Amino acid sequence: MNRNEALELLKDHVKSEQLYRHSLAVEAAMIAYAKHFGEDVELWGNLGLLHDIDFEKYPEEHPQMAPKLLEPAGVDQDFIDAVLSHGLDEKEMRTNTIRKALSAVDQMSSFIIAIALMRPTRLEGLKAKSVKKKMKDKAFAKAIDRAYLEETREDLGVEFAEHVDIIVKGLINQEERLNAEGASLL
């Protein structure tokens, strides 16, 4: 499956602007990590794009209904298992780097975007130090579980500052691509 096919599949199942943007943000972070680890950029990006494919239709069951939507598209089992491996209760499935990366960037991408939205320069110049500060600010982005962010990052084996830098860089690249199309992550 190439990126365009993944994007079309995403659009078939996700109508919410918020979830669509989240998917693009996670794609961006996964692409940045694929480059960091020297892995398959399109595969990692597509996993980011499609990881929440079933969330809009099946919020209660998510991600357990993803196979139903991915199998008809001819996606292989390993890809499906990687989708199934993200989320709070799926730790035992996170057996390789792509799966660990997905869980480590999923909510962190949204957390970083929430911070960027409060800054005049948005993502530009956003440093790990500012993100660390917001991690400690319990009133900010309350729904995002800090312990989960830290646990999944440690499981991926990347230091906090590097983790933030990699994700921010990926988000900036994605923002440039989207701006050229008249769209935005923010």
CB of 136 to Fe ion, least distance (A): 23
Region from 10-18, 91-99, 103-111, 145-153 binding Fe ion, contact rule CB under 5 A: 103-111
Give the integer Cα–Cα distance in Å for 70 and 47. Answer: 11
- Single out the segment in contact with Fe ion by CB under 5 A; choices: 13-21, 100-108, 151-159, 173-181: 100-108
How big is the CA angle at 163 (ends 116 and 157), to the nearest 5 degrees?
155
Judged by CB under 5 A, which of 106, 111, 131, 163 binds Fe ion? 106
Residue 126 contacts by C-beta under 8 Å, 6 or more apart in sequence? 112, 115, 116, 119, 164, 168
Counting beta carbons within 10 angstroms of the beta carbon of residue 31, is it exposed (0 to 12), middle (13 to 18) or buried (19 or more)?
buried
Beta carbon of residue 58, minimum distance to Fe ion (angstroms, whole number): 11
Please say which residue, 106 or 165, places its beta carbon nearer to Fe ion: 106
Q: Based on the shown chain and the rule CB under 5 A, indicate whether residue 52 belongs to the binding site for Fe ion.
A: yes
Q: Which is nearer to Fe ion, 52 or 165 (by Cβ)?
A: 52
Q: Which is nearer to Fe ion, 27 or 52 (CB)?
A: 52
